[in-house]
Chain A
């Protein structure tokens, strides 16, 4: 018996792209003038793509002698008005902390890509989300913030690269694109929405003081009053970024009773897990932060009362969970599942965790609460009959109800 195999019609509008290369090309298409880098796994293909493509476009590519030099060359080029990208991974990103602080202090736009690997120290070259604290807490010394965008697919990375340049220039701030080694190394079919970012005239760049007074790009303000004024200016800017640039995606949350909060690769694993437990009748959803700073605090705070449990999934020992807990302010129990060192949670493991959260936070049968109330009422009645008797009824009921509701949290939290 013979037959023909049905083949799906070829999809012509998609191209197979590696994450690192898609990010690099997105930067070129966005109008990146200069790229500075240093080889490190798992972001090396980004540097290699730039080494080949930037000269083709008549633009600047420099392989620096260190990550310190790479970010600092970026600082110089940004001060001279160029649109700059720099990329690295954990150990190199640590060396760039100095440069990022100076960029923030000097109010210079630049996009830094961190393709995260496992740490601490030399760690591993496997995918990880262990640089969340580093990225979202400012990274270097001083009171400053850096917008952090976290793509969860290569297609989204392409879009966010252009957005990152736009945010960097609109607010004159460095911006971090935070992805993990899996997103950097994976290849997937994408419809790359490359976008050229328009340029705005800048009145602060250096280029020779022809026909205008000289300018200085600086971060030093020795007078305490002057530095405080500068810090207040930066903080106003950060509040404005929080107001206008907070991004997240809500998936299957309309009827959800439990939700995963995850970003990047962890969110992709979580999405599969959520679909699986939904098939088993559990109303689960996915809340995916896209901007990690500003963190979508208000959205999560508003969502919390509608949920009975949250599961945070990360490729780390638990970093974003702190922002989730700050956001929900104890309104809902927060559970955690994470893998480290280059390990990635499987959809099955996340689904099992979700089922556990579902069971642990399930409302108890009303009958048992009624039992407790009846017992309490009897104690109260007894106390009223004997005035000498202790009035412990109500607290006992509270304790019983509290235990009913919260006992699972004791062993469930990390």
Chain B
């Protein structure tokens, strides 16, 4: 008889690109998870030496304190324009924007739409928590109907404030987009799927593809007036308005199929 020998095997470690530092994010906030996924992928794809990321305005502006690669800070909403400037003069770089929903879906709508329209070879990581977190939890274009925020104290009323903006679906019909998907940090299974989406988006860029975007349904317990666990559970409700899954994968032919505006492309 032989005895089983336990060989120590490392199952979990901090990615080299994730700086060993406590974040300033609130308990229950999803930014930390998204940061970690990006760090894991940058390490797995060996991109740290050529990554240039663009930081948003909002809580995640400090992403550069946690992710160990080159960063440029953008004015509010303008990250896709900053990324365009970087991309055009640094063809060899891996270019990433990290943006919130106020940033990307309100003030930066023109910049994200036209970065996609130009088919910029950049990847946008779009963290949607439905509110302006840093300024105190005001309504964003993505806020759910009926949701109480500091600027919709009686709940979001479509009569006066309109409807949640499905910006990822909008971007998926733009001919310059090659990959658009929506994931969530609601549970470990979803986080695994989210990582696969981010990997696919990164690979689209690395393979010479055009614009790619991954939306992440994330939490803002403080902005939502919930405990961290309530907030995470609430993500299932959010996903009723924003369905999870791959919205467009041009390379795989999933989603919108042939782009209407790209008929004349050589």
Residues of A with Cβ closer than 8 Å to B? 33-34, 36, 60, 62, 64-66, 68-69, 72-82, 84, 98-99, 102, 106, 206-211, 214-220
Enumerate 10 A-B pairs (CB-CB under 8 Å) in ascending A order.
A34-B89, A62-B84, A62-B85, A72-B74, A76-B54, A76-B86, A80-B72, A80-B85, A206-B72, A219-B73
A117→B261 CA distance, assembly (Å):
37
Q: Is the beta-carbon distance between B70 and A64 smaller than 8 angstroms? A: no
**A72 neighbours in B (Cβ, 8 Å):** 74-75, 78, 81-82, 85, 111
Q: When the two chains form the complex, which single residue of A62, A69, A84, A217 contacts B72, counting CB atoms closer than 8 Å? A: A217
Q: When the two chains form the complex, which single residue of B61, B68, B89 contacts A77, counting CB atoms closer than 8 Å? A: B89
**B191 neighbours in A (Cβ, 8 Å):** none
A398→B117 CA distance, assembly (Å):
74
Q: Is the beta-carbon distance between B64 and A75 smaller than 8 angstroms? A: no
Q: Is the beta-carbon distance between A73 and B68 smaller than 8 angstroms? A: no
Q: When the two chains form the complex, which single residue of B71, B89, B93, B118 contacts A214, counting CB atoms closer than 8 Å? A: B71
Residue of A at shortest CB range from B76? Answer: A98
Chain B's nearest CB lies how many Å from the CB of A303?
42
A53→B129 CA distance, assembly (Å):
45
Q: Mark B47-91, 1 if CB is under 8 A from A, else 0.
A: 011111011000001001000111111110010011111111110
A65→B114 CA distance, assembly (Å):
7
Residue of A at shortest CB range from B68? Answer: A214
Residue of A at shortest CB range from B19? Answer: A214
Q: When the two chains form the complex, which single residue of B61, B84, B89 contacts A220, counting CB atoms closer than 8 Å? A: B61
Q: Which 9 A-B pairs have the closest CB atoms?
A: A76-B85, A77-B85, A76-B82, A72-B81, A208-B50, A210-B49, A73-B85, A206-B70, A65-B114
**B90 neighbours in A (Cβ, 8 Å):** 80, 207-208
**B113 neighbours in A (Cβ, 8 Å):** 65
**A209 neighbours in B (Cβ, 8 Å):** 48-49, 51, 68-70
Q: Is the beta-carbon distance between A65 and B111 smaller than 8 angstroms? A: yes
A217→B64 CA distance, assembly (Å):
10
Q: Is the beta-carbon distance between A34 and B93 smaller than 8 angstroms? A: no
Chain A's nearest CB lies how many Å from the CB of B21?
13
**A81 neighbours in B (Cβ, 8 Å):** 89
Using known A-B contacts A206-B86, A214-B68, determine if residue A106 contacts B75 with beta carbons closer than 8 Å: no
Using known A-B contacts A76-B72, A81-B89, A98-B75, determine if residue A65 contacts B82 with beta carbons closer than 8 Å: no
Chain B's nearest CB lies how many Å from the CB of A149?
23
**A69 neighbours in B (Cβ, 8 Å):** 78, 81, 84, 110-111, 114
Residue of A at shortest CB range from B74? Answer: A72
**B114 neighbours in A (Cβ, 8 Å):** 64-65, 69
Using known A-B contacts A74-B85, A76-B82, determine if residue A206 contacts B75 with beta carbons closer than 8 Å: no
Chain A's nearest CB lies how many Å from the CB of B183?
26
**B73 neighbours in A (Cβ, 8 Å):** 102, 106, 216-220
**A206 neighbours in B (Cβ, 8 Å):** 52, 70-72, 86
Q: Is the beta-carbon distance between B88 and A79 smaller than 8 angstroms? A: no
Q: Is the beta-carbon distance between A207 and B52 smaller than 8 angstroms? A: yes
Chain B's nearest CB lies how many Å from the CB of A86?
10
A99→B76 CA distance, assembly (Å):
10
**B50 neighbours in A (Cβ, 8 Å):** 208, 210
A127→B192 CA distance, assembly (Å):
60
Residue among B50, B70, B92 with max Cβ neighbours from chain A (10 Å): B70
Q: Is the beta-carbon distance between A65 and B110 smaller than 8 angstroms? A: yes
Q: Is the beta-carbon distance between B86 and A79 smaller than 8 angstroms? A: yes
**B71 neighbours in A (Cβ, 8 Å):** 206, 214-218
Residue of A at shortest CB range from B70? Answer: A206
Residue of A at shortest CB range from B49? Answer: A210
Residue of B at shortest CB range from A77? Answer: B85
